[in-house]
Amino acid sequence: MDDVNYNEHPDRERFERKWLATLMRDQIQQGIYVASSSGRYLGRMNRGWPDPDADATLQALKEAVAAYRRLSPAERRLSRTLTDADRLKWEQDAFKKPTGTLDLRISSRGYAFPGMTTFDQRHPKFYHLDRLWFKPSEWRGWLPAKLTPGAKTSVTGPLFNRIVLLSHMQAGQSAWWESHIRGGSMESEVVAVQNNKVSLRITAHYDMRADSEWCRDTYKGRLLALADYDTKEARFTKFELAMLGTHRVGRMMENIHVGSPEQQIAAYATLNPLANSSDRMIPQNWKYGYQLRWAQSP
């Protein structure tokens, strides 16, 4: 959650909210902080902008550790035991991954472009990490009717458009609509069958042009995915996706962009290795890109 979410949360009496507000004197701001569990503020670690200063950050950490060591044990530790009742409740808590969901960890990074600086998140120094989910009623669309070598199927709907409508193929987010996909297609082909393992080759290309008040961007790119599907377990045991294309910002904004509006972007997705109860990351655009109703059925 970001600082805006915390500042606007209506439950101001919940312990989590009160602890954080007291720590930051009711001025909750984004950043990296060090604090004791008792709520003693020990420092803000962010140093350097837009490029982080590693040496200054290390010095700030050393000062925070020294301040912590000066505290007595009673000053360091929270005097009460926390329970789930102390935790703030968020709207996204109701967004759960349906059973059998194909859970992909997707990352993207841009190539160098003329005039770039680290003020702009499109700079190659930065990468973007997210989750890309497809529930069973969706991912079955990649399986041809007959799982025999050479069998093919044309793919439409979320399997084709989710990756681009949710801006996984670019730096940042754009307000893409389905009507902005002016051309392109996706096809899935069985390339090999060995016992229970069906190997698929998925290809796609995209031609996008937005013309709304909120987005004037364009994008052209291609996608290739290699996947293994286990017919006995009814799940993918391998899924590797690569995507390369050119994104062009339609309306440059001086508080966001620097340099050329055009940039090549590479994206890569694979089975999420953290797909268990300890992984609490959900798709960034869960609310509008998926919606709660999506998560309520497989």
How does pLDDT run across 106-163, given as a tens digit for each residue? 999 999 999 999 999 999 999 999 999 999 999 999 999 999 999 999 999 999 999 9
Domain end, chosen from 89, 118, 143, is at 89
pLDDT tens, position by position, 42-88: 999 999 988 999 999 999 999 999 999 999 999 999 999 999 999 99
Q: Which of 240, 229, 142 is nearest to 192 (CA)?
A: 229
Whether 22 and 48 share a structural domain: yes
Instruction: Please count the structural domains in the chain.
Output: 2
pLDDT tens, position by position, 17-42: 999 999 988 788 899 999 999 999 99
Whether 222 and 286 share a structural domain: yes
Can you tell me the distance from the alpha carbon of 125 to that of 173, in angstroms, rounded to the nearest whole number? 18
Cα angle 211, 250, 106 (rounded to 5 degrees) comes to 95
pLDDT at 197 exceeding the cut of 90: yes
Minimum mean pLDDT range among 2-6, 195-199, 258-262, 263-267? 2-6
Cα dist from 123 to 109, 176, 243, 257, 268, whole Å: 8, 22, 18, 10, 17
Whether 104 and 242 share a structural domain: yes
Whether 60 and 73 share a structural domain: yes
Confidence grade of residue 263 (pLDDT, cut at 50, 70, 90): very high
Domain end, chosen from 37, 65, 89, is at 89
Whether 63 and 143 share a structural domain: no
Domain end, chosen from 89, 112, 146, is at 89
What does the H/E/C string look like for 222-245? Answer: EEEEEEEEECCCCEEEEEEEEEEE
Whether 216 and 281 share a structural domain: yes
Whether 78 and 104 share a structural domain: no
Whether 82 and 133 share a structural domain: no
pLDDT tens, position by position, 161-190: 999 999 999 998 999 999 999 999 999 999
Range of the domain at 52: 3-89
Whether 251 and 292 share a structural domain: yes
Percent of the chain beyond pLDDT 70? 99
Whether 65 and 23 share a structural domain: yes
Which residue type sits at 107?
S
Whether 98 and 193 share a structural domain: yes
Whether 283 and 209 share a structural domain: yes
pTM of the model: 0.91
